[in-house]
Amino acid sequence: MPRFNATKIAAINPIAKGSREIEDFQDAIVSSGPKYRGKCAITTKETLVDAATATGTGSITLTIASFIPAKSILLGVTAYVATTLAGSGLGSWSLGLTNHTTYYGTTLALTAGTGVDAGNWVVTAPVYCTTAVDVLFTGNAGVFSSGKVHLCAHYITVTAPTT
């Protein structure tokens, strides 16, 4: 049964330290019993997607290949439009995964300042990714040719204990 290390928890408590968040999940929780080196990591992977140079520029779909790692539990994907998305006939866009192109937003605005978070999601549970998974931007009409989007994937990975 896990027990909490009160000293470490006090050191990262957001109330005690302003707005600081837990940066390393393993620093916050100490397991009881023998140490077998099983690990759990909560990760936010970030990238800036430039529609002018991304894979699929000039088409209806931009692909961010293998952005979600294999053997991970995907909690969600978030985005922020930094520079307005544009392209011939482009009216709105969707954010999703291969075979699930609207999981994280549909009919999203193209304008700078648009945020995509859990309020836009149609998926209501974490997704287990057995293999690496692509993230897709899909135009609901037209093609992508310019604009920049900050993209984040939030996921958990676990590794088996070792001897």
Q: Has residue 144 got a pLDDT over 70?
A: yes
Q: Give residue 159's pLDDT.
A: 85
**DSSP E strand boundaries for the chain:** 3-4, 29-30, 39-50, 61-68, 72-86, 93-97, 115-116, 127-129, 133-139, 146-159
Q: Report which of residues 27 and 138 the model is more confident about.
A: 138
Q: Give residue 36's pLDDT.
A: 62
The model's pLDDT over 63-107, given as tens digits with 9 standing for 90+, comes to 999 999 999 999 999 999 999 999 999 999 999 999 999 999 999
Q: What is the DSSP string of 100-113?
A: BTTTT-SSB--STT
Antiparallel, parallel or unpaired: β 3-4 and 29-30: antiparallel
Q: Give residue 140's pLDDT.
A: 92
Q: Give residue 40's pLDDT.
A: 86
The model's pLDDT over 25-38, given as tens digits with 9 standing for 90+, comes to 444 444 455 566 67
Q: Has residue 23 got a pLDDT over 60?
A: no
Q: Has residue 4 got a pLDDT over 90?
A: no
Q: Which pTM was predicted?
A: 0.77
CATH topology of domain 42-159: Jelly Rolls (2.60.120)
* Across 132-161, average pLDDT: 94
Q: Has residue 126 got a pLDDT over 90?
A: yes
The domain segmentation of the chain, as residue ranges, is 1-33, 42-159
